Each structure stands twice: as structure tokens, then as C-alpha cells.
A and B are shown apart, each in its own frame.
Chain A
């Protein structure tokens, strides 16, 4: 069953046709990679999923409900979490607080004033936050200000912020960019691990090692439209893809 269905989406920026009659189907429980050259429209597509942009035409359906016109927090409450291309975290808060806020948003909903309870007093949330930070290798740094983290650590923190919400659909925009080889491999293992929980993932990635280690299906985007789609093996052998994008890398 398709958990996410994108049909005939168009998005223009002035004269630029960033998304052009785009169609995409993501099956529940799979890892779907979206690859393509810079400026192909990959991030723009994710923006249309999370309510940052509204396409001019077409539909985006998640679990049979339209996402178009919903506010970002409503979409998140439906179970869609996103890691941004440049890390978006709460730089003035501690690492632990960064992870607890999404946990509270999941537990308490989009708005609930809880002005009398100390945040650490919700033991189950605190424990889970520490557990996730442990998995990410950030537990030692949980009290430090998140702005002091390295770029790779910030990415992992953002991933932790998404994972603590147990999303149904996880959107990852270049989650390993700026990471060392070792950190990248760690992240691959981690993402493989969460597949076992049945989380559907859409991953945008330039690193083909990451793509081929994780993806069940791959869509190739060029100039705002899907030019090829298939299993990793099909994509590797597709001459259109090699021409449009992979070129030197695989050939």
C-alpha cells in the first residue's frame, strides 16, 4: 500500500519550473531514495510534503488524507518528521532539551500549556530522550548547548529529534552530508535499524554508498520531474540515469 502519493505536482519559482508534472508513490515500510543533480527539485519536493510550500497544482496524499493546505505542525502531528538539509535545531537550548521538545509535542499534542510541571519530571520522556541520545552517541553531551556541537553531531541530533517522535514517515534531506566516513557508516547502520520498526523513509542523498546500502526503491529526479524509477539494480543499469546524472560515477 502506498503511504504517500504525489500526483501531477507543479511548482514554479518565477520562470523556473522547479517541479514539473511530478508523480511519486512511496510504499509503506520501505526506504525510498530520491537522487538527482543539484537543483533538480528534491528539497522543493520535500517542502511540499511538510507544508513549507504549496504546489500550484496536483495532490499530495498521506495515508489517504491530503497534506495540501495543512500547517507544518498539523502535518507533523499526522506522523511526518523531517531532517533538513542544513541542520535545524534549537541552538540556544541544551542537547537534551532539543530532544525533549519533539517528545513533548508528540505526547501532549500541538498545544498544551503545562506551566507547573518541571520538564525533567516526566520520567518516561526523559528516559527515552537519554536512550535515543545514547544510540546517537550524544548522551555524554546532553547538558551542553547544542550550538557548540560539530556539524555532524548537529545532524545526528536532528535525526534524534525526529526519531523520538516515532514518525510514520521520516523525510531525510542529505542526512550524512558533512559527516566523516565513520559517522556516515554509523548513520547507515542506525537507519537500517529503524527500518525494522516499520518506519517509512524518504531519503535524499548524494553519497551513492549510502543510497545503495539503504534504498529499496530509487527515483531519479532531473529538472523537476522523475526520469527513472526502480530497484537499485534497475537504476544502476538504466542508461537514461547514467546519462542524466550518474555518468562518470558509475561508468
Chain B
């Protein structure tokens, strides 16, 4: 009945779902229980899960996945501008467009492997980034970014079919007679996608994305992908045509990125080219490796941790530091502030870099490796305890 998932998998899925749905309560002690941040966790979790299907299973390291994130955002905002503020068409359209885009980039990039593949994907993403700023400005609105705006007055609507920088059409909403006051926000059949409803929409998609990734990892398809990582050459002498499998994995992970991009636009209906920059591509690589590439939970964990610390560290400024070090004598206080301020605020990437280095050096398998290690230790302790209890009793 349950297809390809074992008992342990179902327990993991249920535990994962419960954790995600209860996150507003569970993450309160960490000061992370507000919808904007929770939504970010979920969105980047989806991005990382998808990235892991390519990188974690096949070992092909893409350095251009932010391009699909950006494409997803643009596609969604266009749906909002042209048709409706309902999120469903936007999400579906973004997934399809990102998938097609991934097919093209994957088709070319997968002619090479290893570092050449990584460089090709990086080059494509940077090209997309630059195009978004230059020739594609009619679609992307260049540096300003694409935004949801007020409606065009009905008498001028006919002139606005293609150029919609400052005013929108929303044909479908208009046909249904939706009344707008000012700039509307996204909705799910009338339910506004802000605050907790917005988070829960992302959370449900995160759980769905996790479930699909789990089934892929446990299927024949997933086994072939793992075999590609292990020994691609052997696989071809075994009668498997590896290229289309890789392309399928690439497209699927591109579709996840497109979904994440759509959700970013759902929370904040604005798409800018900086979302496609190489730093954004690098971030998802860090998330996946930090959490544990190839594991199911690792990428979500990595995404959550990076976004959580980004939120904390980047919000600390000099005033906060002055308060923290106020107990010190003046010179010491100044030195302490000067040193720590390098790691916070704008300098948070320095902290991220350090964190990443420590993890990669001491836990090459990511946080999941550390976690499994701890669980193993714990189990052994319990079993030795019960053994000694038995012998004494």
C-alpha cells in the first residue's frame, strides 16, 4: 500500500512533518518563531532538498542553481501581474518554467563532468544574471526588479499588454471582479499568504518535497543516481545510459529550485536579479554540505541553521555590541567591539565561513554525521547500562 517506503522511512516522514508543523511552538525557545523567518527556513529547505537530489545522489556539483531560483521568482511575479494574486497558478507555472530552463542548461552542462560541469553551470547562471540586467529588462525590469503594482485604469488597459513596469492587469482577478485597494498581497483562494498562513503554505510544500525526495532516494531511479556517484564508468559498461538519468535529476532539482523561487515571490512579490548571483548558488552548496550531502534530513537542517544564524548575526550592530561589552574598561571594550564586529552584521559571512570550515574539517559528512555519531554513542551507553544492570540484578 505504501509503495516504496519502509517503516523507518514512514516514522521519519511523520516525525519530520510533526516537527515542521509544530515549528512555531518548538522554535520559540530559540527566538526563531516568527512567520517571516520560519517561512525562510521552509523555502530554503525546499531549495536544498532539491539540490541534494542532484549533488547528494549523483555527486554532480552545480554552481548555478540560483538561476532556477531567480527564474521561479520572475515567473511567479509575472503570473501575479498578468492573471491573479492566487498563488497556485504562480507556483505551478514557476515549477514548469524552471524545469524547462533546467532542461536546457542541463542538456549542455552534462556533456562534461567534474569541475568542468561545475564551471559550465556557474557560467550559465552568471549569464542569466547578466542578461536579467541587460537585454532581458523588458521581462525582468532590470535593477529595479519586477514588482506587483496597482492595476492599470480600465480605459488604458489595451496599451499595456507588454509593458507593465508600473501597473498590472490581473485579467483573471478582474474577470472575477476582485476589488483591490492599493497593492494587493498574494492569497490562496482568498486566504492571505502573510503571517502564519503563509508559513503553513510553505511548510506543506516542504513536507511534500521531502516526501518526494525520500521516494526518489529509495527507488530504482535513486539507486542508479547513487551508482553514478560511485562509479559512472562502470555503470555505462553495465548497460545504463547515464546521461538521461543525470538530466532527469538535474531537471527535478531545478524544479525544486523553481518552487523555492516561487515561494520567495509569494512571501514578497518582488523578483530581482541578485537572487541569481553566484553567492546564492554557493549558499545552497554550503547548506547541503553543512547538513550532510546525500542524507535526507541534512539539507533541510543545513538550510535552517544557515538562515537562523544569518538572521541572528547579521542583525547585531555596534550598539548591541557596546551593550554586551559595557562591563569592560573602555579600551578593552573598544578592542572587543572592533574584533567581534568583523563577524557580525555585514561581516556575518566571515562567521559562516568559519562555521563551514570547522564542520568540513571535523565532520566531513556534515551535521547528520555528527548527529548519527551521537545517537550511536547514546545507544551504546544505554545498552551497556542495561547489561550491567542485568548482571548486577
Q: What residues make up the interface of A, taking CB atoms closer than 8 Å to B?
A: 50, 52, 71-73, 76-77, 81-82, 84, 88-93, 97, 100-102, 104-106, 108, 110-111, 113-119, 121-122, 161, 165
Q: Does B42 contact A (CB under 8 A)?
A: no
For the complex formed, measure the closest distance between the CB of A129 and the CB atoms of chain B, giving whole angstroms.
Answer: 12
Question: Is residue B236 within 8 Å, beta carbon to beta carbon, of the partner chain?
Answer: yes
Neighbouring B residues of A92 by C-beta, 8 Å: 226, 229-230
Instruction: State whether A101 touches B240 (Cβ < 8 A).
Output: yes
Complexed CA–CA distance, A89 and B232 (Å): 10
Is B238 touching A117 in the complex (CB atoms < 8 A)? no
Q: Which of A52, A81, A88 has the most CB of B within 10 A?
A: A88
- B294, closest chain A residue (CB): A92
Interface residues, chain B, CB within 8 Å of chain A? 3-6, 215-216, 218-224, 226-227, 229-231, 233-242, 244-245, 248
Nearest-CB residue, chain A, relative to B59: A92
**A88-B231, A113-B245 known; A118-B219 Cβ under 8 A:** yes
Which chain A residues border B242 with CB–CB below 8 Å? 73
Q: Please name all residues of chain B whose beta carbon is closer than 8 Å to the beta carbon of A108 when the two chains form the complex.
A: 220
Chain A: minimal CB distance from B111 (Å): 14
Nearest first, the 10 closest Cβ-Cβ pairs linking A and B are A118-B4, A76-B239, A105-B239, A110-B241, A114-B220, A90-B230, A115-B221, A92-B230, A72-B236, A88-B234
Q: Is the interface of B mostly helix, strand, loop or mixed?
A: helix
- Other-chain residue from A50, A82, A101, A106 in contact with B224 (beta carbon distance below 8 A): A101
Give chain B nearest CB distance to A148 CB in angstroms: 14
For B221, the chain A residues whose CB sits under 8 A away are: 113-115
Expressed in whole angstroms, the minimum distance between the Cβ of A120 and any Cβ of chain B is 8
Q: How far is the CA of A82 from the CA of B239 in the complex (A)?
A: 11
- Cα distance A248–B215 when bound, in Å? 60
Kindly name the residue among B4, B221, B240 whose own CB sees the greatest number of chain A CB atoms within 10 A: B240
A89 touching B234 in the complex, CB below 8 Å, given contacts A102-B239, A118-B218: yes
- A-B contacts, 13 of them at CB < 8 A, read A81-B237, A82-B237, A88-B233, A91-B230, A93-B227, A104-B220, A113-B248, A115-B219, A115-B221, A115-B222, A118-B6, A118-B218, A118-B219
Minimum Cβ distance to chain B for residue A111 (Å): 5
Beta-carbon contact of A88 and B4 below 8 Å: no
Contacts of A88 in B (CB 8 A): 231, 233-234, 237
A74–chain B nearest beta-carbon distance, Å: 8
Are A73 and B248 touching (Cβ within 8 A)? no
Closest-CB distance, A211 to chain B (whole angstroms) = 24
Per a CB cutoff under 8 Å, which of A52, A89, A110, A118 touches B3? A118
| Chain A residues whose CB sits within 8 angstroms of the CB of B218 once the complex forms | 118-119
User: Other than the known A90-B227, A92-B229, A105-B238, what 18 A-B pairs have Cβ atoms closer than 8 Å?
Assistant: A73-B242, A76-B236, A76-B238, A77-B239, A84-B237, A90-B226, A91-B231, A101-B240, A104-B220, A105-B239, A110-B241, A114-B219, A115-B216, A115-B221, A117-B4, A117-B220, A118-B6, A119-B4
Contacts of A111 in B (CB 8 A): 240-241, 244-245
